Amino acid sequence: MTTATPPQLIDPFRRAITYLRVSVTDRCDFRCLYCMAEEMTFLPKRDLLSLEELDQLCTTFIDLGVRKLRITGGEPLVRKNILWFFDRIGRHLGSGALDELTLTTNGSQLSRFARQLADAGVRRVNVSLDTLDEAKFKRITRWGRLAQVLDGIDSAQQAGLRVKINTVALKGANDDEIHTLLEWCDQRGMDLTFIEVMPMGEMGEENRLDQYYSLEDLRADLATRWSLTETDYRTGGPARYFRVGETGQRIGFITPLTHNFCESCNRVRLTCTGQLYMCLGQDDDADLRKVMRGGLDSIAAEAALREAIHEAISRKPKGHDFDYSRQRVEGQVGRHMSVTGG
């Protein structure tokens, strides 16, 4: 039986890196307005890490003290054979080396996969859902069908998965629905987290400032109907949580732009091509695929990989520089959220 590994990845600001988010694909069956342009050029398949390589990389991170893995994308559940990968990683839950295996999904494939995800050891899923209105859903996701996502959420709950809804706050799109979303989540026993739009990647016609709805304003609007009390609940992530007096449910707010959440950052992000990003909002990365495919024998490759990871963590920056304050999008990073994973 493997015993828990003490964190070995400590960054220059003394933050222990215990959380890895892994994007397993840049592809998606939706084209959300704030995330992708309608015409996207995706990576050639040969550039992607194979699922075996992803398993090897995640296993190395777990050996180095990572306790939580979140699988994301693009849409993680559209990657071929992804259930194989979940099963493989599930062995680390069984051994006690990993505390949690979870995913962020748009929900479109959950009807098919919820049961098998639960069997692999997944206990919680984050489902991204910005509206409960069919026509609006179509407009925001461009290619999605609301009914399919709602079926997926049903299947996840039936399979015993805890569902948290993530909603991106969008001015003029879903700002009139926040009370309805809160009530709907309460009726279904689901937590809800609101997210501010972040300046990531080219959007085609869409304009960030047009989409941006401050969560300060959103919370003030919620407070006109609900009593919100801030809690000290933390998941090690960027969200701040409030308790709704009337329903008892927990509402999260992820506010990268109005509050900086970097001091307690415990995470790094791996792209589907094996680039390790030490910060969501900075461009510096480490090419782990190059190390893995460098032609070394397996023992030397593993040693080189560990060294590369340590070196990358020693470069983790203090924080991001996103800033909308002067009515311009400052600190923008060039890659889409679907590259680094949300």
Q: Is 121 in the site for ligand SF4 (CB under 6 A)?
A: no
Which residue from 18, 22, 30, 77 is in contact with ligand SF4, where contact means CB under 6 A? 30
Q: What is the CA radius of gyration of the chain?
A: 19
Give the binding-site size for ligand SF4 (rule: CB under 6 A): 12
> What does the alpha-carbon distance between residue 22 and residue 4 come to, in Å, rounded to a whole number?
21
Q: Which of 211, 271, 338, 340 binds ligand SF4 (CB under 6 A)?
A: 338
Residue 221 · residue 175 · CB < 8 Å: yes
Q: Does 32 bind ligand SF4 (CB under 6 A)?
A: yes
* Site for ligand SF4, residues 127 to 186, rule: CB under 6 A: 128
Q: Which of 9, 22, 24, 36 binds ligand SF4 (CB under 6 A)?
A: 36
How far apart, in whole angstroms, are the C-alpha atoms of residue 193 and residue 169? 10
Inter-CA distances, 35 with 24, 211, 337, Å? 16, 11, 6
Residue 198 contacts which entry, ligand SF4, ligand SAM, none (Cβ below 5-8 A, type-dependent): ligand SAM
Judged by CB under 6 A, which stretch of 54-62, 72-80, 150-158, 187-195 contacts ligand SF4?
72-80
**Binders in 74-113 for ligand SF4, by CB under 6 A:** 74-75, 106
How far from 189 is each of 42, 241, 302, CA to CA, in Å? Answer: 37, 16, 43
Contact partner at residue 31 from ligand SF4, ligand SAM, none, CB < 5 to 8 Å by partner kind: ligand SF4
Out of 15, 21, 31, 68, name the contact with ligand SF4 by CB under 6 A. 31
Least distance from ligand SAM to the Cβ atom of residue 36, Å: 8
Binding site for ligand SAM (CB under 6 A): 28, 34-35, 72-73, 75, 104-106, 128, 166, 168, 195, 197-198, 200, 337-338, 341-342
Of these, 20, 22, 24, 28, which contacts ligand SF4 (CB under 6 A)?
28
Using CB under 6 A as the binding rule, whether residue 70 contacts ligand SF4 is answered as no
CB of 35 to ligand SAM, least distance (A): 4
Asked if residues 304 and 296 have their Cβ atoms less than 8 Å apart, the reply is yes
Ranked by CB distance to ligand SAM, the top (closest) residue is 342
Which residues of the shown chain bind ligand SF4 in the complex (CB under 6 A)? 28, 30-32, 35-36, 73-75, 106, 128, 338
